[in-house]
Amino acid sequence: MTYQYIFGPVASRRFGMSLGIDLSPDKKRCNFDCIYCELEKAKPVESYDNPPSADEIFEEIKKGVNLYEFDVLTITSNGEPTLYPHLNELIDKLKTLNKKLLILSNSSTIDKKEIQNTLKKLDIVKLSLDSANEKTFKKIDRPYKNILLQNIIKGMKEFRKLYKGELIIEILVVKGINDKVEEFQALNKVLAEIKPDRVDISTIDRPPAYNVEGVKIDRLFELAEYIKNQHIFIPTRENINYKIENLTKEELLNTLKKRPFSQSDVENILDERTQKIFNDLIKENLLEEVWVGGIKFYKAYI
Ligand code: SF4
């Protein structure tokens, strides 16, 4: 059977096995025109034209859900899923399936009360925040004309207060645009106020809509040093040269108090000696395991 609205399941590095729901399968409908978009360039739009009914989408999902094994049902779109006008109704229907629900949003509508009330019903909400600087935001995300970064940030803080699920903020780094230390210092300040559960830092992975490039994976680890006291996850397939080397037990414990390591950090960035110390810390029960959005982190008890 061919499906129109569901795809996968796909093994996502960030969320585990994910069965995707595409709310705009026929064309791109987005209020951003990001320079790094994997879809074609398209003028940003304000709303969703010719939306299918929530019933039509749900009927298909109900069939697909029983056929596959997956960890999370991911609401996404060829564009921005929160533009779909029947999202609230659809989410109410999806809740009856008793599956873990995730949405991948560009954050553009998070300042709207009705969107906040809709998204708060989900288990995981991923919002993008590529910069804390209005000018850089416009350069990277090329939003529809009335969308302002300051409203998005205000909306994220409001949403955090009423949302009990896992809030993940994603930063996508583009070479020469938001790959500067000052950008990350500014993001650090804003993230401390938003208080997400996890911060994902990634770069361009597939051919982008515009002529721009990603940065080396090591640069992501360097920039991550400026984001303090957050669970940071850097998904990667590349070899990593960035290393944390020769830490003493105290130094490693101190680092893990400020910056919990994901399982992939432990395997990829600790040198052999520091990994041994890490294993000793586990044996001595000095580290706590925390799962955030399907990723395991280790942090030191404070
Ligand atoms: S928000 Fe997503 S779909 Fe929209 S332009 Fe940006 S990357 Fe593409």
Is any ligand 1 atom within 6 A of the Cβ of residue 204? no
Please write the tens of the pLDDT for every residue from 261-273: 988 888 888 988 9
Comparing 4-8, 201-205, 255-259, the range with the smallest average pLDDT is 255-259
Q: Give the CATH architecture of domain 243-302.
A: Orthogonal Bundle (1.10)
CA 188 / ligand 1 centre spacing (Å): 23
Atom of ligand 1 nearest to the CA of 106: 1
Q: What confidence score (pLDDT) does residue 1 get?
A: 63
Check if the beta carbon of residue 72 is closer than 8 Å to that of residue 94. Answer: no
CA 220 / ligand 1 centre spacing (Å): 21
Q: What confidence score (pLDDT) does residue 212 get?
A: 94
Check if the beta carbon of residue 77 is closer than 8 Å to that of residue 66. Answer: no
Mean of the per-residue pLDDT values of the chain: 93
Is any ligand 1 atom within 6 A of the Cβ of residue 79? yes
Q: Find the DSSP H helices in 235-293.
A: 249-258, 263-269, 272-283
Domain layout of the chain by residue ranges = 6-239, 243-302
CA 131 / ligand 1 centre spacing (Å): 15
Is any ligand 1 atom within 6 A of the Cβ of residue 61? no
Is any ligand 1 atom within 6 A of the Cβ of residue 281? no
Structure tokens at 51: 């939306």
DSSP string, 135-188: HHHHHHH---TT--HHHHHHHHHHHHHH--SEEEEEEEE-TTTS-SHHHHHHHH
Q: Do the domains 6-239 and 243-302 sit in the same CATH topology, yes or no? A: no
**SS3 sequence of 24-85:** CCCCCECCCCCCCCCCCCCCCCCCCCCCCCHHHHHHHHHHHHCCCCCCEEEEECCECHHHCC
Q: Which residues pair with 262 in a beta bridge?
A: 297
Model's pTM, two decimal places?
0.92
CA 258 / ligand 1 centre spacing (Å): 32
Residue showing tokens 């955090």: 160
CA 47 / ligand 1 centre spacing (Å): 14
In this predicted structure, the answer to whether residue 55 has a pLDDT above a threshold of 90 is yes
Q: Which residues pair with 295 in a beta bridge?
A: 292
Is any ligand 1 atom within 6 A of the Cβ of residue 106? yes
Structure tokens at 135: 């000018």
6-239 in CATH: which number?
3.20.20.70
Please write the tens of the pLDDT for every residue from 160-181: 999 999 999 999 999 999 999 9
